[in-house]
Structure 1
Amino acid sequence: MDQEILNDLALHLNSRITKVVLNGVYEITDFIVKEVTASTVVLNFLIPADDVSLVTLIEVKGDNLRISSKPVNVPITSDNLMLETFDITEVTN
């Protein structure tokens, strides 16, 4: 697959991402970084310790769309800077 197509898919995915939802209830819509580098979407966001003490689920969402959902166990004792990446690659099998 041509690299340009992979880059276009990453740009499309990036345009669909509107928020990160923690534990099904806490929404983050302000990203420190939200960009595409080559065919990788990079999200960098802050989890404030004053609002969240334990993260058990991280969901990346768009309008009426769940892009990813990951169960985790992350205690938050101070503000945490999180990194989420999506690598767009060709599958060849």
Structure 2
Amino acid sequence: MILQSFLNELAQYTNEKVTKAVLNGTYEISTFQVKQLTDSTLLMEYLVPAESVSEITLIELKSASGTVVSSNNVYIPVTSDTILKHTITVKEG
């Protein structure tokens, strides 16, 4: 069994590593309205302005160097300013 304290450390590392969200491979968001770590769960919220993209088909969380930390294929139409919430929970599998 992995100790909770180690899972929390991994979540902290992930929190420090993720610096931006990239939508559809091109539109970068580096300002998070919320970026909060609670134990082993990281919550991020960010605003997608309606004029930036008409739909979202790919969400990537990346490090400052551009390394992909998380990648998700999605379909989200953007008809008005939209707040996206992204949660990463580090747990034993």
- TM class by smaller structure: over 0.9
Q: Note the C-alpha offset of 1:71.
A: 1.0
Consecutive unaligned residues of structure 1, counting only runs of 5 or more, are none
In structure 2, the partner of 1:83 is 85
Aligned residue pairs, count:
91
What pairs with 1:9-88 in structure 2 (closer than 5 Å)? Answer: 9-62=10-63, 63-88=65-90
Q: Percent identity at matched positions? A: 44
Q: Note the C-alpha offset of 1:32.
A: 0.5
Q: 1:48 to 1:15 in 2, by over 3 A?
A: same
TM-score, structure 2 normalization = 0.93
Report runs of 4+ in structure 1 exceeding 3 Å deviation.
none
Q: Note the C-alpha offset of 1:40.
A: 0.5
In structure 1, the partner of 2:9 is 8
- Kindly provide the CA deviation profile for residues 27-84 of structure 1, in whole angstroms up to 9, marking residues without a partner as x: 0000001121110111111110011111111000002310111111111001111011
Q: Give the alignment's Cα RMSD to 1 decimal.
A: 0.9
Amino acid at match of 1:83: K
Secondary structure of the residue aligned to 1:59 is strand
Consecutive unaligned residues of structure 2, counting only runs of 5 or more, are none
